[in-house]
Structure 1
C-alpha cells in the first residue's frame, strides 16, 4: 500500500486538473507545479524507503508514467517561477526510480539505467516546451502587429491631422486680429479654416477605416507628391511664411506610390514644424531634385523670431521626425534635419526611385 501511494497521489492530481470545464482545466493546469512537486518528493521517499518487490516495481512503473504526464503538463502551463523547483524534482523522481531494484549492479550500470530513463523525461519536457514556445511566439507576433498598427495610426494622425489643426489655429488667430478692421479677410480665413477642418476629418476617416480592419475599403488614396503644390499654396496663404516649391516632373514620375506618399508626409512634417517653431519665418523653400537612383527632398526655412513659448515647445522635441526617419530607412532612403544658415533649419530626405524595367 505504501508503494502504491505515490502512484495514486500522482493520478489523483492529474484527474483533479482535467476533471473540470475547459476554462477551469487550463486554470488548474497552471497550478499543477506544487502538487507535482509533492508527488515527486513522495515518489523519491518511497523509492528508497519501501522494500523492493514485484508488485512494487509495477506500481513504480505506473507512477513514472503519470509523473511524465505531470512533467509535460507543468512544462506547458506552469509559471516559470514555479518550474524551477517542480521540473528538476519530478525529473529526478522518474530518472532514479529503478535504482533501488538493481542494487547488485555496478555503479556504471546504475548510471546507464538512470540515463536510459532520462530519455522519456527529455521527451516529456520537449512535448510541453514546444507548444509553450509556439504560444509565446504567437503572443509576441500579435503584440508586435498591434504595436505596428498603433504606430501607423499615430503617424497618420501626426502627419495629417496635426498639420491641418495647426493651420486652423493660425487662421483663427489671424481672423481674430483682422475681423474688426477688415471683415472680408476674416471671411477668407474662415473659408480656409473650413477647408483645413474638412481635410482633418478626411484623415480621421482614413484612420477609423484602418481601425475597422483591412476588409473595409478605403474611400481615397493617401496624398502623394502630385498634391504638393496645393499643399504649399495653402501653407503660404495660411501664415506669414512664403513657401516656394521647386519640383521637377521627373521627380514625380520617378517615385513609387509608397515613396511618393512618404515624400508628401515628409514635406507636411517640415511645414508643420515651421508653423509651430518658426511661424514668422519670412521664407521657406521646398525642392525635389531627382538623380539617377534617388530623389532628394530638401525643405529649408529662414530664421524666425521664435518667442519664448515657441522655444520651450520646440525644445521638447516630438515623434514626427524619428518616425519619418524610420519610414525613410524602411524604403531604403535617409532623412536628416538640423540648423541651416543664420538661425534657419533644413530637412533633407533621400528616397530611392522606381527604376524602369529593362526590355529584352
Structure 2
C-alpha cells in the first residue's frame, strides 16, 4: 500500500512539474496534453480494479489516444520543442509493466507494442534532433526495462502456481497411497478375523462375539481413515497439508493389534530415542511396519512369531520386520512393496525385502533422520 501511494504521489508530482516547465502552456494543444497526462494517471489509479482483459484494453486505448496526440503535434508544432513531458510517458511505462505482468496473453500481445510505441514516439513527434533522440532512447530503455520486469514477474508467478499445483498433486497422490495402505491393513485384519470366527463357530462358539467386536472395531477404523483421506482428496481449493498421520507410538499399537487378532505373536523392540524425529520419518517408519505386517497376514503360511525392531543409530533409523513362516507366492504386480519403496525413497531411504536366515521373510528399511536436503 505504501509503494502504491508513493507511485501515485510521484505521478502527481510529474504532472505538476510538467506544468511548471511549460509543457501544457502551448496554445491550442496544451489542454490536450494535460488531458492525456491526467487520463494516463487516472488509469494507473484505476488499474488495480481492472481484470486481465480490461486492463490491456484500456491501456491500449490510452496509448492510441497518445499516438493520435503525438501525430497532431507533429502536424502543427514544427518549430516547437514543447512535445516533451514526463507524467504521461511515466504512466504509460507503468501500465506497460502491469499489462506484461497480469494481462491476458492475447490482449497483452496487442497492447504492449502500442504502449511501447506511444512512449517512444512522443519525444520525437515534433522534431528529430540529438536531444529528442536521446530522450526517445531513454524512454525506450525505460519501456523495455518495465516490460522485462513485468514479464519476469509473470513467469515467476506462473512457475510458482505450477509448483503449487504439482505439490498438491503429489500430496493427493501420497494420500491416495495412505488410503490404500491403511484400508488394506484393516481389511486384511478383518478377513483374518472373519476366517477365525468361522472356524471357532463350531468348536468354541463363546469366542465368536469377541471376534465380531474386533471385526467391528477394525471396520470402524478403516472407515474413519477413508473418510479422513477422501475428504482431503476432495478439497480441490485449499492446500492439502502433510499431517502427521502416525508415529513411533502408533507402531506399538500396530504390533499389539496384530497380536490381538490371533495366530502369530508379534514382538516390538525399540532401541534409541525417537522424540525429535521429523514427521516424514516417523510416518514412513509406521508405514513400513504396517505394510510388512499386512504381508505377513497375507503371505506367511504357518507363521508363529513376528519380530519388529526399530532402532536409531546416529543419523539413521532402521526398521526391520521378520517372521518365521513359509512365504507363499507373491504377485509382482501388487502395489504394496512397490509403493513402500517409492515412499521410503521420497525421504532418501532404502528398503529391502527377502528371505531371512533360518526361514521366513523379512523387510528392512533404512531411513535418514534428517530429510532437509531430499528432493521429493
| 1:78-227 correspondence to structure 2 within 5 Å | 78-105=103-130, 112-122=134-144, 124-125=146-147, 128=150, 132=154, 139=161, 143=165, 146=168, 150=172, 153-154=175-176, 157-176=179-198, 178-179=200-201, 182-200=204-222, 203=225, 224-226=247-249
- Does residue 350 of the first structure (1) align with residue 356 of the second (2)? no
2:99 corresponds to which of 49, 71, 74: 74
SS in 2 for 1:102: coil
Q: Within 1, Cα distance between the matches of 2:315 and 2:129? A: 81
Is the contact between residue 13 and residue 35 of structure 1 (CA under 8 Å) also seen in structure 2? no
Q: Please tell me whether the aligned partners of residues 6 and 43 of structure 1 are also in contact (alpha carbons under 8 angstroms).
A: no
1:39 aligns with 2:70: no
Q: C-alpha deviations, 1:223-245, integer Å up to 9, x for none?
A: 544554552343255476x3543
Q: TM-score, normalised by structure 2?
A: 0.62
Q: Distance in 2 between matches of 1:271 and 1:30?
A: 61
1:91 Cα deviation from its structure 2 partner: 1.5
1:335 pairs with 325, 350, 371, which one?
Answer: 350
> Which stretches in structure 1 are left out of the alignment for 5+ residues?
355-360
Asked if structure 2 preserves the Cα contact closer than 8 Å seen for 1:10 and 1:67, the reply is no
Aligned partner of 2:255 among 232, 248, 257: 232
Residue 149 of structure 1 and its aligned partner are, at CA, apart by: 6.0
Tell me the equivalent position of 1:358.
none
Structure 1 pair 31/239, CA: closer, same or farther in 2 (3 Å)?
A: farther
RMSD: 5.3
Task: Determine helix, strand or coil for the equivalent of 2:255.
Answer: helix
Instruction: Give 1:39 shift.
Output: 1.9
Tell me by how many angstroms 1:267 deviates: 0.7
Equivalent position of 1:357 in the other structure: none
Structure 1 residue 300: Cα displacement: 3.6
Q: Distance in 2 between matches of 1:52 and 1:254?
A: 83
Gaps of 5+ in 2: 1-27, 371-376
CA 305–204 in structure 1, closer or farther in 2 if over 3 Å, else same: closer
- Change in CA separation of 1:300 and 1:52 when aligned onto 2, cut-off 3 Å: farther
Could you report, residue by residue, the CA deviation over 1:9-37 in whole angstroms, capped at 9, with x for unpaired residues?
Answer: 99879978987994xx3355355288459
Contact 2:320–2:363 at 8 Å: present in 1 too?
yes
Q: Pick closer, same or farther for the CA change 1:56–1:199 going to 2, 3 Å.
A: same
Q: Is 1:270 matched with 2:274? A: no
Name the residue aligned to 1:323. Answer: 343
Offset at residue 344 of structure 1 (A): 7.1
| Equivalent pairs, count | 332
Instruction: Please state whether the residue corresponding to 1:253 is helix, strand or coil.
Output: coil
TM-score (norm 1): 0.64
Indicate which of 331, 336, 345 corresponds to 1:311. Answer: 331
User: Any conservation in 2 of the 1:67–1:90 contact (CA below 8 Å)?
Assistant: yes
Structure 1 runs of 4+ aligned residues shifted over 6 Å read 1-21, 59-62, 204-213
**2:301–2:328 contact (8 Å) kept in structure 1:** yes
Q: How far does the alpha carbon of each residue in 1:294-320 deviate from its partner, in whole angstroms, 9 at most, with x for none?
A: 3421224555333xxx73761697644
- Work out the CA distance in 1 between the residues paired with 2:48 and 2:127: 43
Cα deviation, 1:86-111, whole Å, max 9, x if unaligned, reads: 32442133123323433354xxx665
Q: Closer, same or farther in 2 for the Cα pair 1:93/1:230, shift >3 Å?
A: closer
Q: Confirm or deny that 1:282 pairs with 2:303.
A: yes
Distance across 2 between alignment mates of 1:149 and 1:252: 30
Q: 1:67 to 1:100 in 2, by over 3 A?
A: same
Distance 1:56 1:281 in 2: 101
> Does the CA contact (< 8 Å) of 2:185 and 2:291 recur in 1?
yes
